[in-house]
Amino acid sequence: MTRYPALIDGAEVDGPATFADLDPSTGQVLAEVTRGGAADIDAAVAAARQAHKRSWRRTRPADRSRVLRRISDLIRRDRDQLAELESRDTGKPLRQAKADADIAARYFEFYAGAVEVLYGDTIPLDSDLFVYTLREPHGVTAHIIPWNYPLQIGARTVAPALAAGNCCVLKPAEEAPLTAIRLGRIALEAGLPAGALNVVPGFGEEAGAALAAHPGIDHLSFTGSVEVGRLVSKAAAEHVIPVTLELGGKSPNVIFADADLDAALPVVVNSIILNAGQTCSAGSRLLVEAPVHQRIVAELVGRFEKVTLGPGTADPDMGPLISATQLERVSGYVDLGKSEARVLTGGARPANGGLREGFFFMPTIFDDVPPTAVIAREEIFGPVVAVSMFGDLGEAVRLANGTDFGLVAAVWTRNVNTAHVMASEIQAGQVFVNTYGASGGPELPFGGVKRSGHGREKGLEGLLEFTRLKTVAMKLDPGASW
Ligand code: NAI
Ligand code: MG
């Protein structure tokens, strides 16, 4: 059995306690992982503080950039191994895991470039005052990430933090910690100083809670559930530190009757099938204008029934859910949904005996879902789409905004006016028109409104989150006039 130790101050810390990390495609144990606790978090925070003080804070942006580029190169070198590990640990199809590795490499490359052009301002207040701003790192940053995209989200949050000159403590999820641990090793190999990136796997209530409550952290970024987002925010509020929260959503695809349906449908299907619906930005609601409702659901059913299921490494269209707990959660929502709306396809675990050991669930469509239904409002985090119908633009806006979430929305129409009005009225961090997700690369700022969270990751905004602004005003003595 492969063991995965924590990585603290450049050294592997193995045990003493461990936990079993499962392969969700088979339910079998994949690895034994160090079960980090409060003492490990203490050591990791202290190591990060030392690394920050000793070197990383004073390392020139050009040199930080060079290390980040090397990390990116090494991720590319190890792409296939990383992808296979991610696929086994999360159950996601191999080609999706490969795409994740490519995107992780891009994060390091993108922020390697961005930090070299991160300047402060001068402010022309008065002739005898020299005023300028400095963008400083926070210091020690804490990163608590989920199990759905460990490599991608790990890179998304750690790359800009390191680029800006922070030193990090990364706490991966207990369900899928392996690629985040590998990322820590790769960073060391690339020449990142010991202690600049510490990775402490462990349980949420242990390592996670200890990290969020630690008085030695200066910034906290969290991706996961609303419930835990609230908890870690409260912990951070004790020490009055900034928090970035990315808490998922209930994102709608809104299809108007004039849309190019042939273009829309494959994208709509992919937006909920991707990673078995366990994606924060999954297109879990489908709002369709009345005249095209019948045609859309008919085609959707056909496409859902062609989706192939299997172990991630066999590269099917869709893998299993992450865990028995998640399977129970999704099944629970689907059972409840059967009393609220109509199942058109799926609605159960697959009958295929070969898939019984893994945590598989069939792609599921609910039709005629009332906007008040639980399955129309709550995040299921499985391959389940809720279809509702609307009559006009106003109703489309009301339905689109009818949940507590606001992460992503997509509008499908050929009418420029409809596109602009929807883009302006929809409450979401990002709105797509005639597309969905725009490839998930690092360029586009990303984050939520309402319960989907606050703060922005990705893009230049994502780098600025990991800096704090200092304003310096210097009184000048102009001396003799000449
Ligand atoms: P979770 O919020 O419990 O887990 C996310 C991370 O938080 C993990 O690293 C976990 O160890 C950590 N954590 C858990 N409890 C903690 C605590 N008390 N203090 C500090 N850290 C803690 O999410 P979970 O239970 O795995 O999934 C439940 C639901 O959350 C999903 O069904 C989905 O709706 C949502 N979710 C959303 C994600 C997103 O991408 N926004 C990712 C994962 C889950
Ligand atoms: Mg696992």
Predicted pLDDT at 482? 64
Give, using CA atoms, the residue closest to atom 41 of ligand 1: 248
Q: Tell me if the pTM is above 0.85.
A: yes
Name residue, tokens 């707990």: 325
Which has the closest alpha carbon to 372: 400, 345, 402, 398?
Answer: 402
Order the strands of the 384-390 sheet from edge to edge. 342-345, 364-367, 384-390, 285-289, 252-255, 408-412, 430-433
**How would you classify the pairing of strands 243-246 and 453-454?**
antiparallel
Which has the closest alpha carbon to 397: 386, 415, 411, 408?
Answer: 411
Phi, psi of 423 (to 5 degrees): -60, -35
Ligand 2 centroid – CA 8 distance (Å): 22
- Within a 10 A sphere around the Cβ of 173, how many other Cβ atoms? 25
What is the SS3 string spanning the chain? CCEECEEECCEEECCCCEEEEEECCCCEEEEEEECCCHHHHHHHHHHHHHHHHHCHHHCCHHHHHHHHHHHHHHHHHCHHHHHHHHHHHHCCCHHHHHHHHHHHHHHHHHHHHHHHHCCCCEEEEECCEEEEEEEEECCEEEEECCCCCHHHHHHHHHHHHHHCCCEEEEECCCCCCHHHHHHHHHHHHCCCCCCCEEECCCCHHHHHHHHHCCCCCCEEEEECCHHHHHHHHHHHHHCCCCEEEECCCCCEEEECCCCCHHHHHHHHHHHHHHHHHCCCCCCCEEEEEHHHHHHHHHHHHHHHHCCCECCHHHCCCECCCCCHHHHHHHHHHHHHHCCCCEEEECCCCCCCHHHCCCCCCCCEEEECCCCCCHHHHCCCCCCEEEEEEECCHHHHHHHHCCCCCCCEEEEECCCHHHHHHHHHHCCCCEEEECCCCHHHCCCCCECCCHHHEECCECHHHHHHCCEEEEEEEEECCCCCCC
Query: How many CA atoms, within 13 angstroms, populate the side-chain half-sphere of residue 441?
Result: 7
Predicted pLDDT at 384? 98
What lines the ligand 1 site, CB under 6 Å?
Answer: 144-146, 148, 171, 173-174, 204-205, 208-209, 212, 223-225, 228, 231-232, 246-248, 280, 329, 379, 381
Burial 277-296 (b: 16+ CB within 10 A, else e): bbbbbbbbbbbbbeebbeeb
Pocket test of ligand 1: the residue of 33, 90, 144, 238 to mutate, having most ligand atoms within 8 Å of its CB, is 144
Phi/psi zone of residue 438: left (φ > 0), alpha (ψ -120 to 50 degrees), beta?
left
For ligand 2, a single-atom ion, the residues with CB < 5 A are 21-22, 89, 176
Question: Tens digits of per-residue pLDDT, 184-227?
Answer: 999 999 999 999 999 999 999 999 999 999 999 999 999 999 99
Q: How far apart are CA 304 and CA 43, in angstroms?
A: 48
Pocket test of ligand 1: the residue of 89, 169, 222, 228 to mutate, having most ligand atoms within 8 Å of its CB, is 228
Ligand 2 centroid – CA 310 distance (Å): 16
Q: Which atom of ligand 1 is nearest to the CA of 227?
A: 2
Residue 246 annotated among the catalytic residues of the structure: yes
- Within a 10 A sphere around the Cβ of 392, how many other Cβ atoms? 10
Low-confidence ranges of the chain (pLDDT < 70): 481-482
Q: How far apart are the first and last CA of the chain?
A: 79
**How would you classify the pairing of strands 167-171 and 3-4?**
unpaired
CB 33 within 8 A of CB 177: yes
Ligand 2 centroid – CA 21 distance (Å): 5
Predicted pLDDT at 479? 79
Ligand 2 centroid – CA 364 distance (Å): 24
- From 280, 289, 299, 379, the catalytic residue: 280
Question: Tens digits of per-residue pLDDT, 129-169?
Answer: 999 999 999 999 999 999 999 999 999 999 999 999 999 99
Q: How far apart are CA 214 and CA 238, in angstroms?
A: 10
Predicted pLDDT at 138? 98
